[in-house]
DNA sequence: CATAATTATATTGTGCGCAATAGGATTTTG
DNA sequence: CAAAATCCTATTGCGCACAATATAATTATG
């Protein structure tokens, strides 16, 4: 076997490891999120709004790297769930401002109670390891983004 | 702000970092895979078959953590593309054996030419860093899998 | 050996994720 | 200030992911 053949082996690939870990995270979060009635993508949209209420679709999309094709239907589902409201901006009617309802705000406390305590247990390592790993993964993502945009 | 409030901040979360990096990988691979006519999930199925030709749907699913709901339609698309054949096992007719066509085998060489050389450039780090990170991410995935199955 | 339980794959339905496109609203420019 | 360009959101179409269910084949059990 030629040496470069290893490159096409699954277990060699960082890409597959990340792909696979993302799915594993999703599976691990699912039972926790079910108790809030949210999917993971809906949950991270809620996190963006819990940090600052009243943001446009574009602002949310920039923070999550998601476009309107993903967010528009997702936000309609969150509206249907009673978590948010969608209103056109008075000054610029192109923009839609997303705001939390009282129920949407209350769900934050449920998340603090049910999800936050479970995370450390899920990932099976201490806070320091987790933070270091997070920073590395973010660096990786940044490198990938750069490679896409600049060549 | 209470200290535990940080737990619900997006930039704190390893989970979001991994989710986001997986999408970034997908975006970075896409132009490379387009030249092979494959999506990333189709590509990793091909990698499994390049390692050993003639595997059942179940075997492929076990290696990729994907179920028949995902694989059945994906494999039909690969068949339509002329990459694989799907044949019922003679001894156990419940099983479907997936085999590479000549075109499917030839695509491996294209992958070696076009994709393998680009990866190091994409991730923006050396092979050693890449390998260490891959091992850490795999450990993370294993921990997550364990947390899902045992509580 | 007939019936029950198990196994392997396929199907259906829902929700992303993203490319391509469309439709208005706003801004730029001649 | 009118036409063109740009900006923001929504829609459509396709391909995953995965839960739930269905179907057919095989194995286990009484």
Block mean pLDDT (10 aa), chain B, length 151: 70 93 96 96 98 98 97 98 97 97 97 90 87 95 84 45
Q: Cβ distance A64 to A44 under 8 Å?
A: yes
Domains of chain A as residue ranges with CATH:
17-113 (1.10.10.10)
Q: Pick from B65, B61, B50: which is nearest to B138 by CA?
A: B65
- Are A147 and B121 within 8 A, CB to CB? yes
User: What does the block give as tokens for A46?
Assistant: 């809620």
Q: In the beta sheet, which residues pair with residue B97?
A: B56, B87
- pLDDT tens-digit profile of A62-105? 999 999 999 999 999 999 999 999 999 999 999 999 999 999 99
ipTM of the complex: 0.94
Instruction: Return mean pLDDT, chain A.
Output: 92
Which residue of chain B is at minimal alpha-carbon distance from A45?
Answer: B10
Distance from CA of B69 to the nearest CA of A (A): 15
Q: Which nucleotide is nearest to B44 (CA to C1')?
A: D16
């Amino acid at each position: 076997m030629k040496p470069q053949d290893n490159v096409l082996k699954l277990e060699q690939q960082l890409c597959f490891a990340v792909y696979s870990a993302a799915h594993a995270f999703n599976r691990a979060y699912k039972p926790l999120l079910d108790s809030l009635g949210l999917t993971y993508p809906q949950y991270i949209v809620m996190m963006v709004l819990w940090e600052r209420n009243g943001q446009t679709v574009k602002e949310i999309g920039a923070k999550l790297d998601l476009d309107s094709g993903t967010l528009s239907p997702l936000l309609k589902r969150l509206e249907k769930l009673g978590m948010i409201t969608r209103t056109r901006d008075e000054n610029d009617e192109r923009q839609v401002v997303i705001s939390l309802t009282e129920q949407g705000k209350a769900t934050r406390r449920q998340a603090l109670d049910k999800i936050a305590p479970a995370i450390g247990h899920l990932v099976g390592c201490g806070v320091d390891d987790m933070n270091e790993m997070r920073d590395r993964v973010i660096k990786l993502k940044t490198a990938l983004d750069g490679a896409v945009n600049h060549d």
